[in-house]
Amino acid sequence: MRAKDTLGQRGEELAAAYLTAIGIEVVDRNWRCADGEIDLVGIDGDTLVIVEVKTRSSLDYGDPLEAITPAKLARLYLLAARWRRASARHYPSFRVDAVSVLDNGAGTPIIEHLREVAL
């Protein structure tokens, strides 16, 4: 496995643990359809939460959240609709969150959570 993939998987694990610790139940991971992939799907009360996770080992290429472009965000909203249709359960509302993980492997990772990222 490539180092980038390993770092990404570690970031998703850290993000899932963080979300669980703040009361968001992670119900799906790496959900895929023809239009793309959702990193994490969570439930916060009766709200469906679509989570994009961006992990970096340094800020050399910018803040991880800068990688969430308007096109990526639009795709996440489309994927949220696809996931909702595929789910057996109805969720009255949803939001898109972003979690950045800065993890150089030498210390405690830094996690930042943005709620309700809008188009």
pLDDT, one tens digit per residue, over 17-66 is 999 999 999 999 999 999 999 999 999 999 999 999 999 999 998 999 99
- Looking at per-residue pLDDT, the higher value among 7 and 42 belongs to 42
Query: Residue 43: inside a domain, yes or no?
Result: yes
Q: Quick one: pLDDT at residue 1?
A: 64
Query: Residue 86: inside a domain, yes or no?
Result: yes
**CATH code at 49?**
3.40.1350.10
CB atoms within 10 A of CB 53: 25
Query: Residue 74: inside a domain, yes or no?
Result: yes
Mean pLDDT score across all residues of the chain: 93
Is the model's pLDDT at 112 over the cut of 70? yes
Condensed to tens digits (0 to 9), the pLDDT of residues 66-102 reads: 999 999 999 999 999 999 999 988 888 999 999 999 9
Query: Residue 119: inside a domain, yes or no?
Result: no
Q: Quick one: pLDDT at residue 5?
A: 75
Domain range for 68 is 3-114
Q: Quick one: pLDDT at residue 4?
A: 72
Query: Residue 66: inside a domain, yes or no?
Result: yes
Domain count along the chain:
1
pTM of the predicted model as reported, rounded to 2 decimal places: 0.92
Tokens 């993980």 appear where? 101
Q: Quick one: pLDDT at residue 118?
A: 83
